[in-house]
Amino acid sequence: MAPPGDVETFDRFARFYDLFPVPTHPKAIRRAIDGRGGLVVDLGGGTGKYTNRVVPDRARAAVVDASREMLRRAARRRLPTIQAGADRVPIRDGTVDTVLCTEAFHHFAGIQDAVLDEVARILKPDGMFLLEEPDPTRLLGRLMRWGEHVQGWDSRFHPPDVLVKMLEERFGKVLKTKSGLFTVLLVAERPRL
């Protein structure tokens, strides 16, 4: 199946991607990951520039992305990579300690519910989900949304309270919400059955 339009654009612009600033909240994300151990899946992890920064031990990470060109760059960073759609991750049920998703969820338009189900499926009980997204209730977040729509991207942004509800449906409760200049970070855990 052909990848969604955004992915073709990421394939074309992969070589420039690392020139853009990294997402916010790196310290909070790194602290959360350090405190856990185990396998970290970076969903829509792209070139791995952020994975590299927040997962100190590369052997513990896997960058999952639909774009072959973005992943080629992640592989150059010696990060393990998996080319797959975020809604069909070839990883066994209940085997991942942390799923990280930064600046990517809005690109999963049309499959966002399926992606959240997939995150819940691969996480271990008590496994952690870290979701970082541009916040369209903030000026810079709105500008970003505008910029992506002008490019004709099919991105789908949600205000933080809507993201919280989406996560609560799968994970019971959101443990932490942290607002930044133009992004919001949500932390949730897969409940024990």
Ligand X SMILES: C[S@@+](CC[C@H](N)C(=O)[O-])C[C@H]1O[C@@H](n2cnc3c(N)ncnc32)[C@H](O)[C@@H]1O
- Least distance in angstroms from the C-beta of 186 to ligand X: 15
Using rule CB under 6 A, residue 67 touches ligand X: yes
- Least distance in angstroms from the C-beta of 28 to ligand X: 14
Using rule CB under 6 A, residue 45 touches ligand X: yes
Using rule CB under 6 A, residue 134 touches ligand X: no
Among 50, 157, 171, 182, the residue binding ligand X under the rule CB under 6 A is 50
Using rule CB under 6 A, residue 10 touches ligand X: yes
Q: In what order do the strands lie in the sheet with 183-189?
A: 81-83, 61-65, 40-43, 96-102, 123-134, 183-189, 174-179
Q: What is the helix (H) or strand (E) element at residue 179, kind and residue range?
A: strand 174-179
Among 24, 32, 49, 185, the residue binding ligand X under the rule CB under 6 A is 49
Residue placing its CB nearer to ligand X in the complex, 42 or 189: 42
* Cα–Cα distance for residue pair 26/172, rounded to 1 Å: 25
Which spans in 2-77 are helix H?
Answer: 5-17, 26-34, 49-54, 68-76
Roughly how many angstroms between the first and final C-alpha of the chain, as a whole number? Answer: 34
- Binding region for ligand X (CB under 6 A): 4, 6-7, 10, 23, 44-46, 49-50, 65-67, 70, 85-86, 102-104, 107-108
